[in-house]
Amino acid sequence: MHLVMSSEDKLHRALAHLSGFLNRPQADAVLLRRAGSSLDRALFPLLMRAGLDDTMTVSELADTVGRHYSTVSRQVTVLERQGFVVRTADEGDKRLSVVGVTDKGREEIARIAWARNDVMREVFSGWTDQDRNDLTRLLAKLVESLESTTNTGTRRRTRP
């Protein structure tokens, strides 16, 4: 029996395929190899996300990557030992640790970003500028709508 899929079902299927691709360890490994990075694949998302916000706590980082706090805390310790990040006490709440990216970490992020951008240029080589701009705009709109509708947006501390 062949069911007719609604547009919502088709969109969900496409997003599930995209999410599956983005979560494949092989995709991260290819990107890291292309960047000439020796960063462990499990640490990759943590460093990249920490690089987006200089005031992210370990707890916020764990929420962002969808991992348990204790796992992320251990992985941040590894990133610290490798010289990619430093932990400091939050100025507003000394009980919280803020993860800061070091110069070495920023260099690694830049190397990976170059490789990612190189891949993206290949992926979108047949797309028009308008298509790429539309996709970017619509994805941002989708994330905003999903977070708003499900009340699952990134919870961040109020900063002074």
What pLDDT, on a 0 to 100 scale, did the predictor assign at position 159?
A: 46
Q: Compute the average pLDDT of residues 118-125.
A: 94
Which of 105, 115, 128 is closest to 43 using CA atoms? 105
User: Could you tell me what percent of the chain has a pLDDT over 90?
Assistant: 62
The position carrying tokens 């069911």 is 3
Q: Which domains does the chain have, with CATH numbers?
A: 27-150 (1.10.10.10)
The helix/strand/coil state of 86 is strand
Q: Is the pLDDT of residue 158 over 50?
A: no
What pLDDT, on a 0 to 100 scale, did the predictor assign at position 100?
A: 94
Residues 38-94: pLDDT tens digits?
999 999 999 999 999 878 899 999 998 889 999 999 999 999 999 999 999 888 888
Residues 92-117: pLDDT tens digits?
888 888 999 999 999 999 999 999 99
Give the tokens for residue 112: 């990976």
